[in-house]
Amino acid sequence: MIFTNEKNALIARRGGETLKIEGWGRNSLRVRAVMYDGWTGNDWALTETPEETDCRIVIGEEDNWNGDGTIGKVPCAEITNGRIRATVNHAGVISFYRDGALILREYYRSYGGTLSRSSRCLKIVNREWKGCIGGSEYQLTVKFDANDGEKIFGMGQYQQPWLNLKGNLLELAQRNSQISVPFMVSSLGYGLLWNNPAVGHAAFANNYTEWTARSTRQMDYWITAGDRPKEILRQYTEVTGRAPMFPENLMGLWQCKLRYRTQEEVLTVARQYRKEGIQIDQIVIDFFHWTLQGDWKFDKTYWPDPKAMVEELHSMGIRVIVSVWPSVDRKSENFAPMMERGLLIRTERGAAQTYDYQGDCVEIDPFNPETRKYIWEVCKKNYYDFGIDGFWLDNSEPDYGVYDYENYRYCAGPALSCSNMYPQMFSRAFFEPMKEGKEEAPVNLLRCGWAGSQKYGNVIWSGDVPSTFEALQDQLQAGLNMGLAGIPWWTTDIGGFMTDDVNDPDFRQLLIRWYQFAVYSAVLRMHGDRGPYNIPPLDTRDWGGGYLHTGQPNELWSYGEDNYRIMRKYYDIRIAMHDYIRDLYREAHENGSPLIRTMFYEFPEDEKCWTLQDQYMFGAKYLVAPILHLNEFEREVYLPAGQWRNVNSGEITEGGKTVKVKAPIEEIPVFEKM
């Protein structure tokens, strides 16, 4: 291993690999490596210019066992930036330290190492570059030693019941309801960003941790050290960007269903809300209001005057958001020009098709700046110029018909090498032109995101999840881990998306419990596909805005007087918290803190808080214990040290213990920190 100090970066060369470690923000290091062909120049999620760091680099020697049993000297080096230090031995194995304590070490099991476990004959190396046959990319695998007792959080959204990801194998790929945001927070006081949008996996096993990119030219990860998760999130968002300040007039209720089929339906719902004395901040116009996928315009048969509709809604103080999909039907007026200009995803083999729901479609390639320009110009003319306020960028993973990533290619390269960044590039096609010349940031709704998506005005929701209590339990874990991955604007479909029968009393109980949870989250949004499907279509055509089914009504009053009374009560609670919620959004904007927080985020010194996953903090003030099971009308709640006021009963309790709390259907257990 040959070490050099080049422009305040530690460079190490060995066996065709060049390794570069440099300071990148406070108490943080960026680690990159390439084989032979030079640096790519991609910063990926690290979009923000870090503050100047003056690292201390030392190149020296250390003892090593020679093959004949004697001890000799071999080169080694170290680099220190604030509280974090990395050492590199002669085999290129990196070890990381926080304030002198080892926090992470690359896994190396081959003969000739200087580490106690490394002198083995297994021939397992810490960084494995395996050339992709017929291409210039590599499959890259990077391994780290596992730390006994370590807890791992973040990484985005996975539909599973575990908050602590230790022991999990996570696919690094985007799917409907799965969001890969590859930033992890460790209980040992560090955070690590796998700064690579390639499809792959992360395994946090008990024997070692492994990160894999199936197609890449460069290893790139970023590591930061801090005492508290809040410090780690602050340092992470300093280099990846922070959410803009959320508009105050969107902090209340968003109204949505699958699907409002006509502009008169939308206006009727809005007028009824006004009559009920309930202010909805935004109403959402869902899919198949269009003629064909990829036309990106209203079907005039059912939406004859969108501009007048928007003007009336605006007069009621209601913003309007409209669904846009990235899929383009072959029959669409935009298919031929986009295919001709190379603005759609390419297939490597077989027919040019990437999506087959309600049409024969190819999806757009938002990595191409010309694509982003094209789709914005169409949507500006057909939506934005009518006064539409925002866009629901659905299917934004994209939702492939078959997830054969090796069969798709973008202008940026093989889908295997960068597909995880697709939803972020899709969102930028709208955010960037909408932001031009405006002080207030645009707010768009997406089903997916990647590291750094928080800076592009993305409200991300958890996808098309089933209407079950098990799914509600999973959404809590998903939302908490999304927050720890730097995504503070996160929400769900209240009641889940897929409902067979809205009259089922079990579903109605679920709806109330989900609604109560949503009141204490970033965005309160009614949405869902509500059966039974006994409403006839408006049209006999097999295209256009009238032929596809619609779900049952999904307004607050749609589920009977008793449920309406409960939802109205919690709507009033949400509105009364407006100033508090505004302050939480400001905190997200200023230091990256999520709105819904794990217990250990606020109480890192309390060991029990690191094990709790069925309660959370809504900001620093409110402890929320959602009801996550059918026919559950009381539950246990752990209160950390201090005094806590039950907001339902007014009773004050000394913390540091677990208490049993009553939870009739009218109440969600919430405690205010005194």
Residues annotated as catalytic are: 394, 397, 464
- DSSP 8-state class, residue 577: T
Neighbours of 510 (CB within 10 A): 22
Q: What is the 3-state secondary structure (H, E, C) of 192-252?
A: EEECCCCCEEEEECCCEEEEEEEEECEEEEEEEECCCHHHHHHHHHHHHCCCCCCCHHHCC
Main-chain phi, psi angles of 616, to 5 degrees: -155, 170
Task: State the Cα–Cα distance between residues 445 and 443, nearest whole angstrom.
Answer: 7
Peptide bond between residue 532 and the one before it cis (omega within 30 degrees of 0) = yes
Neighbours of 264 (CB within 10 A): 13
Task: Give residue for tokens 């004050």.
Answer: 652
At residue 514's C-alpha, the angle toward residues 511 and 516, to 5°, is 110
Peptide bond between residue 505 and the one before it cis (omega within 30 degrees of 0) = no
Residue type, 550: T
Torsion of CA 228, 234, 239, 245, to 10 degrees: 160
Neighbours of 304 (CB within 10 A): 13
Contact call for residues 570 and 519 (beta carbons, < 8 A): yes
Strand order in 280-285's β-sheet?
A: 490-491, 458-461, 444-446, 390-393, 319-324, 280-285, 253-255, 524-526
How many residues does this entry show for the chain?
674
Task: State the Cα–Cα distance between residues 579 and 228, nearest whole angstrom.
Answer: 26
Task: Give residue for tokens 């020679």.
Answer: 66
* Helices 505-519 & 469-484 angle (0-180, nearest 10): 20
